Amino acid sequence: MKILIEKGTVVTLGKENKIIKDGAVYIEGNAIKEVGTTTEISAKCKMQNAKCKIIDAKGKVVMPGLINTHHHLYSTLARGMAIPGEPAKNFVEILERLWWPLDKILNKEDIYYSALIPLIECVRNGTTTIIDHHESQAYQLGSLDELEKAAKEIGIRSCLCLGISDRYNKGKEGLEESERFLSSLVTRHSSLVSGMVGLHASFTVNDDTLEKAIELAKKYDVGIHVHCAEDEADEEDSIKKYGKRVVERFRDKGVLGAKSILVHGVHLDEEEMDILKETATNLVHNPESNMNNAVGWADVLKMLKKGVLVGLGTDGMSSDMLSQMRCAYLIARNEKKDPRVAFMEAPKMLLENNPRIVGQVTPFGKLGEISAGFLADIILIDYLPPTPLNENNFLGHLIFGLVDAIVDTTIVNGKVLMENKKLVGIDEEKITVKSRELAQKLWSRF
């Protein structure tokens, strides 16, 4: 497949960070081959007699697809569900009264449809790669295949894992499913799917499970994807049981490193942040979820200053990375009571750090930039800038304009998944009819 995107405002990002007015991008297979002005690139294509699909990007910003470094596809069917009893009054109660009972009753079909819906929302919001963290206690063996099937059907690039915990089967089945899935990836070399070893959190895994998970990660040369210090309860549990804080426990056991992802880090102290820096461990910030669970704010400004690689995820709250980025920007200013902060940092987490994290934890290849040799994950957003737009003020347009603009076209791995706001080859209505049916049944079992 050859695609020529022409006449758009191309925002390359990356080191060069150029904005090309009346720009064009030429894609061959799953990679970007040429980037330049429409005049240059269109002429080259014609000279090479390259028969290709032409996408007119007039009135649109053409930029790299966005990345979500922490998602929970399985959370979909909880949308709109009534939870019996008094509202949960803290984080642990939210887990005990909503997420744990929910993941205990998800069946095979629920998991598949739970995944299809947010994956479609990824396409609609220009999110082209996700790192997902799955849990389904009653249906673990084979669950990652359901996610992979859905991701393939929709076309989103995904790194999958199962959050192993002692809540069910002392982690045995979770370890088994992780090994089954990781071993299946070894011979496939897919550029669209990869895996990690997932753990729920420090407070739900004992040392035995933790050690086995680390062994597994070593065996398949992948990292660990685990929630960390989301609530103070996680730290308190670790101090009580092991006499050390969560990050110290993880360091001592061998969880940390450039291939691993710690999620949240709301309650980390200075020393734990320093350990993340020393071990080059990735941290993923999820501000909307943290606000929703009322667990506090992770001081990502401090972590970034220390040199920790901090990315941005949604924790299953949504698949919209631009709104998550703006939330990260707003809450940082509010928390610090300083209107000078986060203007650079919030976009950096999304546009620079998320591609770096994916580069470290998956074998996918180069993402996050429109340059020759990068994977062809590209989005087109309807945007007629009301003020001059250039390299120096792009972030202003991003935070105050593009964040609310509509994604028109989404391309992943050189394949068009949505064009003119219409999904290609996906019957969204049929999928949502089925998903509502399954949700109704699930709610009656809850």
Nearer to Zn ion, 315 or 320 (CB): 315
Binding segment for Zn ion (CB under 5 A), chosen from 95-103, 216-224, 310-318, 356-364, is: 310-318
**Size, binding site for Zn ion by CB under 5 A:** 1
Pick between residue 315 and residue 408 the one whose CB is nearest to Zn ion. Answer: 315
Which among 102-110, 198-206, 313-321, 336-344 is the span making contact with Zn ion, rule CB under 5 A?
A: 313-321
Residues 269-308 as x/- pattern, contact with Zn ion by CB under 5 A: ----------------------------------------
Residue 43 DSSP code = H
At residue 248's C-alpha, the angle toward residues 243 and 250, to 5°, is: 110
Q: Is 231 in the site for Zn ion (CB under 5 A)?
A: no
Q: Which is nearer to Zn ion, 126 or 313 (CB)?
A: 313
Q: Which is nearer to Zn ion, 6 or 135 (CB)?
A: 135
Give, as ranges, the residues between 111 and 150 that touch Zn ion (CB under 5 A): none
In the complex with Zn ion, the residue whose CB is nearer, 295 or 304, is 295
For the bound state, the minimum distance from the C-beta of residue 315 to Zn ion, rounded and expressed in Å, comes to: 4
Q: Which stretch binds Zn ion (CB under 5 A): 88-96, 236-244, 302-310, 314-322?
A: 314-322
**Alpha carbon distance 262, 66 (integer Å):** 20
Which of 68/413 has CB closer to Zn ion?
68
Cα–Cα dist 187/184, whole Å: 7
**How far apart, in Å, are the Cα atoms of 103 and each of 49, 117, 133, 137?**
53, 17, 12, 6
- Tell me the residue number closest to Zn ion, measured at CB: 315
- The interface region with Zn ion, picked from 14-22, 238-246, 309-317, 404-412 by CB under 5 A, is 309-317
Q: Which residues contact 194 (CB under 8 A, 6 or more apart)?
A: 158, 159, 160, 185, 222, 362, 363, 364
Q: Count CB atoms within 10 A of the CB of residue 37.
A: 16
Site membership for Zn ion, residue 230 (CB under 5 A): no
Query: Bridge partners of 282?
Result: 261
Decide: is 315 part of the binding site for Zn ion (CB under 5 A). Answer: yes
According to DSSP H, which parts of 12-158 are helical?
38-47, 91-94, 100-105, 108-125, 143-154
> Do 378 and 53 touch, CB atoms closer than 8 A?
no
Question: How is 244-310 classified by DSSP, letter by letter?
Answer: S-HHHHHHHHT--STT-EEEE-TT--HHHHHHHHHTT-EEEE-HHHHHHTT-----HHHHHHHT--E
Closest separation in Å from C-beta 234 to Zn ion: 12
- Output the smallest distance, CB 200 to Zn ion, in A: 9
Site for Zn ion in 17-36 (CB under 5 A): none
Name the residues that contact Zn ion, by CB under 5 A: 315
